[in-house]
Chains A and B, each alone.
Chain A
Amino acid sequence: MESLSLFHEINAKPDEYAAKWKTETGGKVIGNFCSYTPEELITASGALPFRILGTGADISKADAYLQSYSCSLVRGALEDALAGRLDFLDGTVFPHTCDSIQRLSDIWRMNTGFPFHADLVMPVKLDTESAGEYMVSVIRKFRKDLEKGLGIEITDDMLKDAIVTSNRVRKNLSRLYAVRKQNPELINSSDLHTIFRAAMLMDRKQLADSLEPIAASLESKTATAATKKKRVVLSGGLCSMPDVYKVIEASGGAIVWDDFCTGSRYFEGFIDENGDLEKNIAEKYMERVACPAKHSGIFSRGEYLVEKIRENNADGVIFVFLKFCDPHSFDYPYMKEMIEKEGIPSMLFEIEDKSSSEGQLKTRCEAFMEML
């Protein structure tokens, strides 16, 4: 298999990667918080879309701005910004999602001092025509805001080029998921997550080019005997720390799918490369599987999970989300009930911070795998 060392290197020091990219290309780096960020526009502008996940450093400065009942992503990201660990950013984009990110945007705008700040106040409803039209207007406005904020013009050719690249990235990422689904032994999920983390902040052309040979190489390998490990689907929120993938695999689980914004929600859905490009971008974000902070019907997320369990012959589900994540916490009881009706057991793990979670997760996972 092609080496993953590039991805591991980037992941170890994402700030250094971004800073180096800036020096080499003379481009700008735009931080963002969410898989609803229309990265294609940022890429088209010549800037690097950089997903902020938090370094997991101890919180000291952010406590003066945020109460203890904010999630570790919100607190951690602000801490990184205030401590200067994100100084390579030229700006930040906040797509509207949950209440905490909504207020983080204000606090960020008022205190961090990055030159460019954009709020993408996308619709919360994704299932009506008027929301779809509004989404298009948000995308059009964001293009103008970027042009003004970064002092460049984004031509349709530039945008098309960025969409082609982003579709290539999505396609290759989905190929990796397809390989893992068929044969989880071929690529472990911890490595796959490393690729995703790097993918969300590296030069997208370089990314697309690097993913091709990896996907091709994996696809060429013959399937080994079916895994004896328990096939698990992950559901929940962003989870970058601790390395839940390693822990689950070490406990005898094989992750076959996820419903994470740092996983499947990042690559699902393609953008039509012809016609009204802004409209096409909007459509993709309207139709993609929804984050729980959005509304696409009252059963949509549960139905999606059940479908993925069936498609992937899963034995169990592990719900993982950050403590204080309201949207996920509200959805959890009904989703759990829906999969129970399918005879699929589940466990819930709420992550508060890196240090306190790893040991607990290990114990819980081991018990869960044994039960499966």
Chain B
Amino acid sequence: MTSPENKTDVKPDTKKDPDKEKRKIKSDKKMREIMTAYYIEAKTPKEQTGKKIAWITSGGPVEPLQVMDVIPIYPENYGAMIGASKMGVELCEKSEEMGYSSDLCSYARADIASSTVNGGPIGGLPEPDMLICCNNICGTVLKWYEVQARYYNVPLFILDTPICHTEFNSDMKRYVVTQIQEYISFLEKICGKPFDYDRMNEVGALSIRGQALWQEILDTTMNRPAPMTCFDAFFHLAMIVTLRGTQTAVDYYESLLAEMKERIAEGIGMLPHEKYRLVWDNLPIWYRLRWLSNKFTDRSACLVADTYTSGWCSSMKYLDENDFLGSMAEMYTRIFLNSGTDIMADNIIKMVEKYEADGVVFHSNRSCKPYSLGQYDMQKLIQKKVGIPTLMIEADMVDERMFSESQVETRIDAFIEMLK
């Protein structure tokens, strides 16, 4: 996930290169403004906003929070901001002093430490009134939110979405549907007001519209040259994650989509020379975005798609426009990360075909076991089914200590050779 801070490693050019200027995405500025306003509201004292704050996992059901006028805050988004601001190591070390193993997820470590010292780029997140944890992305969030529930002494709601190794069955569906009702009762109790089902329909429609627009934006890279890369998607993703179900996200994505279409019409690609097209798997390496982007650009390799940012519209097909609340259980349970390794491999293969990719770059991310374990099998399946080269980068999304620049560069070079 991303934020205004994600591009802090982008140094302003002293001499403006007209070619570079032409390729820049103009909507970036608007995005920064919206995200800044979002965090300013969230950090405004609650007495002034009159709104409660919920911390929620990145794959969690945010729409009911919008209905209840609760401000959703995403510690994972903050983890990304901390990583991109290169503040991860300091906070990870702090969490290790607190007794947390250095092998644990670096988002969790950074967030847990940040709570105690008001750390990170915006001096800590606003304190939660409740915690909403959906384990469709991992088991780690459960443990992480338990830690925060003890620390802040606030209610914790867990949406337990059974992993769909090979199937999503009727027992699972019944269980998650019931929990959605429990979630609403939980919110009604904490907010002290009834749930507005009419408003839910409006928010649901905006969520679906936002997801559809996001997919359309990601699909613009089917064009050659691609008007954007996955590094841009990492940045613009923040909106579908944090403001899903709002008019703000819909309006912004409409303007971003229009800009992408314009770029296509004018033949403007993100890369000056697009020779190879690649798919990225796993979370970004937040503290090396610029570096990695340059490495690939210099080698005329364009990362046209990724499994990560498309995750927020990967299960849109299970949503029923006329019954958002009724269908959200299935949508939230069947996201690609909550499925079997072979289903995840198929997802990549479909992307390779759709975006006509020449290779796949895997980030083997120490912080994220459900995303990373199984990648070796995915490599083999891709080799077998589509016969294109793959690259494995060993790193971590936030903890820079796990990154070896020279090793990664050598591997990228060897990989590009295989594409030739």
| Residue ranges of A at the interface with B (Cβ–Cβ < 8 Å) | 64-67, 69-70, 96-100, 102-107, 109-111, 119, 121, 123-125, 128, 130-131, 133-134, 137-138, 141, 292-293, 295, 298-299, 323-324, 326-327, 329-334, 336, 350
Contacts and interface: CB of A to CB of B under 8 A. Distances in A.
B347 to A, nearest CB: 14
B99 A134 contact: no
A65 B140 CA distance: 22
A327 B340 contact: no
B162 A326 contact: no
Contacts of A111: 377
Nearest to A96: B163
Contacts of A67: 364, 366, 372-373, 375-376, 394
Interface of B: 98-101, 103-105, 108, 135, 138-140, 142-144, 146-147, 149-150, 156, 158, 160, 162-163, 165-166, 169, 171-172, 174-175, 178-179, 182, 340-342, 364, 366, 369-370, 372-377, 394
A331 B144 CA distance: 9
B341 A99 contact: no
Nearest to A330: B143
B138 A99 contact: yes
A292 B104 CA distance: 14
Contact of A329 (B101, B162, B166, B172): B101
A292 B143 contact: yes
Nearest to B338: A102
A65 B139 contact: no
A215 to B, nearest CB: 37
A334 B147 contact: yes
B158 A124 contact: yes
Nearest to B376: A65
Given A69-B369, A96-B163, A133-B174, 13 more contacts: A67-B394, A102-B163, A103-B341, A103-B373, A106-B341, A107-B374, A107-B377, A292-B143, A295-B158, A326-B140, A326-B143, A327-B139, A336-B99
A130 B172 CA distance: 11
Contacts of A110: 341-342, 377
16 contacts: A64-B376, A67-B372, A67-B375, A70-B369, A96-B163, A97-B139, A99-B139, A100-B373, A103-B373, A110-B342, A134-B172, A329-B104, A330-B146, A331-B143, A334-B147, A350-B101
B376 A102 contact: no
Contacts of A99: 138-140, 369-370, 373
A121 B143 CA distance: 18
Contacts, number: 140
Nearest to B402: A69
Given A103-B374, A106-B374, A110-B377, A326 B160 contact: no
Nearest to B156: A298
**Which one of A96, A102, A329 has the greatest number of beta carbons of chain B within 10 Å?**
A102
B79 to A, nearest CB: 15
Contacts of B103: 69, 323-324, 326, 329
A107 B373 contact: yes
A134 B159 CA distance: 13
A125 B158 contact: yes
Given A99-B139, A295-B142, A66 B104 contact: no
Contacts of B144: 330
Contacts of B366: 67, 69
Contacts of A102: 139, 163, 165, 370
Given A110-B341, A119-B165, A141-B171, A70 B158 contact: no
Contacts of A70: 369, 373
Contacts of A350: 101
B178 A130 contact: yes
A119 B158 CA distance: 22
Contacts of B162: 96, 121, 123, 134
Contacts of B394: 67
A120 to B, nearest CB: 10
Contact of B104 (A107, A137, A326): A326
A70 B143 CA distance: 18
B150 A298 contact: yes
A130 B160 CA distance: 10
A34 to B, nearest CB: 13
Contacts of A121: 162-163, 165, 172
A106 B163 CA distance: 11
A200 B125 CA distance: 47
Nearest to B179: A130
Nearest to A134: B175
A109 B166 CA distance: 10
A138 B169 CA distance: 11
Nearest to B177: A130
Nearest to A292: B143
Nearest to B162: A121
Given A99-B139, A99-B373, A350-B101, A124 B166 contact: no
A109 B377 CA distance: 11
Nearest to A335: B99
B374 to A, nearest CB: 5
A329 B138 CA distance: 15
A316 to B, nearest CB: 17
B376 to A, nearest CB: 5
Q: Report, nearest first, the 3 A-B pairs whose CB atoms are least far apart.
A: A333-B99, A330-B143, A103-B373
A131 B377 contact: no
B171 A123 contact: no
Nearest to B95: A333
A130 B165 contact: no
A330 B158 CA distance: 17
A107 B99 CA distance: 32
A334 B369 contact: no
A67 B378 CA distance: 13
Nearest to A66: B373
B373 A104 contact: yes
A111 B373 CA distance: 14
A330 B163 contact: no
Nearest to A135: B175
A69 B101 CA distance: 13
A123 B158 CA distance: 11
Nearest to A333: B99
B248 to A, nearest CB: 33
A334 B150 contact: yes
Contacts of B160: 123-125, 131
A47 to B, nearest CB: 21
A121 B163 CA distance: 7
A344 to B, nearest CB: 16
A65 B364 CA distance: 12
B395 to A, nearest CB: 12
**Which one of B101, B139, B163 has the greatest number of beta carbons of chain A within 10 Å?**
B139
A104 B163 CA distance: 13
Contacts of B108: 330
Contacts of B370: 99, 102-103
A98 B160 CA distance: 13
A298 B377 contact: no
A105 B165 contact: yes
Nearest to A102: B163
